[in-house]
Amino acid sequence: SQKIEQNSEALNIQEGKTATLTCNYTNYSPAYLQWYRQDPGRGPVFLLLIRENEKEKRKERLKVTFDTTLKQSLFHITASQPADSATYLCALVLNYGGATNKLIFGTGTLLAVQP
Amino acid sequence: NAGVTQTPKFQVLKTGQSMTLQCAQDMNHEYMSWYRQDPGMGLRLIHYSVGAGITDQGEVPNGYNVSRSTTEDFPLRLLSAAPSQTSVYFCASSLVGAWTGELFFGEGSRLTVL
């Protein structure tokens, strides 16, 4: 069966450390993978996208890796801050061509950064 | 720019009642969609539209109707609400074909069906 899995348990880390969140999938062949941030009571906000032929993408303190062999993406936040506390969602973009591309979301991982 | 605006933010319905969740975007996006988010489950696509006059079903369309008469608006109608439709609903928009870009989400509408 097709699955996309993120750590269901909350990730608690100390301020200043690097947070690493995992997104694993089975039986999908995504063209792209996206990461979103969602704060309580708010809609998700796009953070980063990585293509299937890219190994790594960076944006400020964020880094995403994408291993299509392992079927896994890792999302890193370096020098984490309490303001980074939120739920982070990964989403697979399945390429069916143009507007019929399909987005499959994971359930998200709650990150709590302790001061 | 307001982005994606959803109304109402909160709604309580009784079983069998009907209602419409409103969604409007001011970014001239051709693609609009409705998702529902339930605890322990990822966002699930209900219906989507790739332009005015064009709509299609997503993963969980039963019990919901949509229409797209303008580029800006994409209302979601619950014809006869059921407790299983208790959820948080998100409207999202994007440029058609720009799947290297992002979905822009509204702030959500929390619906409770008693």
Confidence of residue B2 (pLDDT cuts 50, 70, 90): confident
Per-residue pLDDT at A36 exceeds 80: yes
Mean pLDDT of the A59-71 span: 95
Does residue A41 contact residue A97 with C-beta atoms inside 8 Å? no
Nearest CA in chain B to A87: B42
Give the separation between CA B96 and CA B9, rounded to whole angstroms: 27
Count the residues in chain B: 114
Q: How many CB pairs under 8 A join A and B?
A: 57
Percentage of residues of chain A with pLDDT beyond 70: 94
Note the pLDDT of residue B1: 66
Q: How far apart are CA B71 and CA B24, in angstroms?
A: 9
Residue B98's pLDDT is 57
Nearest Cα to Cα of residue B30 among B3, B44, B49? B49
Burial of A24 (0-12, 13-18, 19+ CB in 10 A): middle
Cis peptide upstream of residue A115 (ω within 30 degrees of 0): no
A98 compared with A42, residue with greater pLDDT: A42
pLDDT at A108 over 90: yes
- 8 Å CB contact of A34 and B102: yes
**Is some CB atom of chain B closer than 8 A to the CB atom of A107?**
yes
Q: Does A40 touch chain B (CB under 8 A)?
A: no
pLDDT band for position B37 (cuts 50, 70, 90) = very high
Decide if B103 and A4 are in contact by the 8 Å CB cutoff: no
Give residues with Cβ within 8 angstroms of A60, minimum separation 6: none
- Alpha helices by DSSP H, listed for A34-114, are none
B-chain CB neighbours of A32 within 8 Å are 99-100
Say which residue the tokens 């896994």 belong to. Answer: A72
- pLDDT tens digits, one per residue of B53-90: 999 999 999 999 999 999 999 999 999 999 999 999 99
> Angle at CA A90, nearest 5°, toward A62 and B102?
80
Q: Which residues of A touch B107 (CB under 8 A)?
A: 41-43
The per-residue pLDDT for A106 is 94
| Chain A contact present for B31, CB below 8 A | yes
Q: Comparing A18-27, A56-65, A98-107, which segment has the lowest mean pLDDT?
A: A98-107
Query: Does A51 lie at the interface with B, CB-CB under 8 angstroms?
Result: yes
| Residue A31 contacts B where some CB pair is shorter than 8 Å | yes
